[in-house]
Amino acid sequence: MNDNPEHPEPPDEPAGSESGALIEPSEEAVLRLERELADMKEKYLRLAAEYDNFKRRSAKDRTDLWQRAQADLVQRLVDALDDLARFAHVDPAQTDAKTLHDGVDMVERKTWKALEAAGVTRVDQVGVPFDPHVHEAVTTRPADHPSKDHTVGAILQPGYRMGDALIRPARVTVLQWQGNEGRGSGDGT
């Protein structure tokens, strides 16, 4: 035994082994490891193929779902489009303005019924706080009261949502409180 802790002795080496020499594995161990490696390769290749098939199937499913959704929306709108086509081809000389107006109004209601069933809503409220996520400020106008500062004063073009997704922002006039110095200037700044 070595009583000097600063210089420990190396552990005893197994009998018959030379320092630094590798132990030769048995042929049986090599064959077993080669079989395990082949099994692992096969499992990996099978998993990779299954994953590729899954990706291809998922992409096809998404495409099919998108096409079905579009077809469903078009199907909801075709009746209104047919009505609009009938009104576009009436003889104005034989149809009075009220009939045309009523027909166009009916087509608009039918179109909105179909769009609402698909989850489409209008963004067209006046007097609500300006929200850059749903409004596009086109111009400003002086507010007549501080509580109306940064609120929607007018809708120039409505916006549309489908569910939570914004299809088009509403183009609006934004009211801005300018205090007493801004009153009566009329320049909109």
Residues 19-63: tens digit of each pLDDT = 556 777 899 999 999 999 999 999 999 999 999 999 999 999 999
Per-residue pLDDT band at 10 (split at 50, 70, 90): low
Q: Is the pLDDT of residue 157 over 90?
A: yes
pTM: 0.60
CB neighbours of 126 closer than 8 A, spacing ≥ 6?
152, 153, 154, 155
Of 71-75, 122-126, 148-152, the one with minimum mean pLDDT is 71-75
Residue 90: its pLDDT value, please?
87
> Residue 100 to residues 54, 104, 107, 135: CA-CA distances in angstroms?
54, 6, 11, 33
Q: How do the residues of the chain divide into helix, strand and coil, expressed in percent and rounded to 5? A: 50, 20, 35
Sign (positive/negative) of CA torsion 86, 92, 94, 96? positive
Written as six digits, the tokens of 7 are: 């210089």
Q: Is the pLDDT of residue 182 over 50?
A: no
Written as six digits, the tokens of 139 are: 């111009």
Written as six digits, the tokens of 45 are: 């290749």
Question: What mean pLDDT comes out for the span 58-83?
Answer: 92
- Whose structure tokens read 């096809």? 60
- Whose structure tokens read 């183009």? 171
Q: Is the pLDDT of residue 11 over 70?
A: no
Burial 34-57 (b: 16+ CB within 10 A, else e): eeeeeeeeeeeeeeeeeeeeeeee
Written as six digits, the tokens of 145 are: 């009261």
What percent of the chain has pLDDT above 70? 84
Per-residue pLDDT band at 9 (split at 50, 70, 90): low
For the chain, how long is the longest CA-to-CA vector?
122
Residue 12: its pLDDT value, please?
56
d(CA 2, CA 18): 22
